[in-house]
Amino acid sequence: MNILLVYAHPEPRSLNGSLKAFTIKRLEAAGHSVQISDLYAMNWKAQLDADDSIQRRPGERFDPSLDSRHAYENGLQSLDIVREQEKLLWADAVILQFPLWWFSMPAILKGWVERVYAYGFAYGVGEHSDSHWGDRYGEGTLAGKRAMLVVTAGGWEPHYSPRGINGPIDDLLFPIHHGILYYPGFDILPPFVVYRTGKIDETRYAAICEQLGKRLDELFTTAPIPFRPQNAGAYEIPALTLRPEIAPGRTGFGVHVGDDA
Chain contacts with its own copies (rule: CB under 8 A): 10-11, 13-14, 40, 44, 46-50, 61-65, 99, 101-104, 106-108, 110-111, 113-114, 117, 137, 154, 156, 158-159, 161-168, 171-172, 174-175, 178-180, 198, 230, 235, 238-242, 247, 250-256
Nearer to its own copies, 49 or 217 (CB): 49
Q: How far is the CB of 108 from its own copies (least distance, A)?
A: 4
**C-beta of 75: minimal distance to its own copies in Å?**
22
Is the Cβ of residue 22 or residue 62 nearer to its own copies in the bound state?
Answer: 62
- Which residues partner with 151 through β-bridges? 98, 193
> Looking at this protein, which amino acid is placed at residue 92?
D
For its own copies, give the closer residue by CB, 105 or 189: 105
Is residue 229 within 8 Å of residue 138, measured between CB atoms? yes
Nearer to its own copies, 99 or 191 (CB): 99
Q: How far is the CB of 58 from its own copies (least distance, A)?
A: 15
- Judged by beta carbon, residue 112 or residue 192, the one nearer its own copies is 112
Neighbouring CB atoms inside 10 A of 213's CB total: 17
Q: Which of these, 97, 124, 105, lies nearest to 3 by C-alpha position?
A: 97
CA distance 233 to 201: 49
Q: How far is the CB of 32 from its own copies (least distance, A)?
A: 28
Q: What angle do CA 142, 146, 149 make, to 5 degrees?
A: 115
Up-side HSE of residue 246: CA atoms within 13 Å toward CB?
20
Nearest to 3 by CA among 46, 25, 226, 110: 25
CB-CB contact of 189 with 147 (8 Å): yes
Asked if residues 42 and 7 have their Cβ atoms less than 8 Å apart, the reply is: no
- Closest approach, Cβ 100 to its own copies, in A, equals 10
Question: Which CB atom, from 83 or from 196, has the smaller least distance to its own copies?
Answer: 196
Q: How far is the CB of 195 from its own copies (least distance, A)?
A: 12
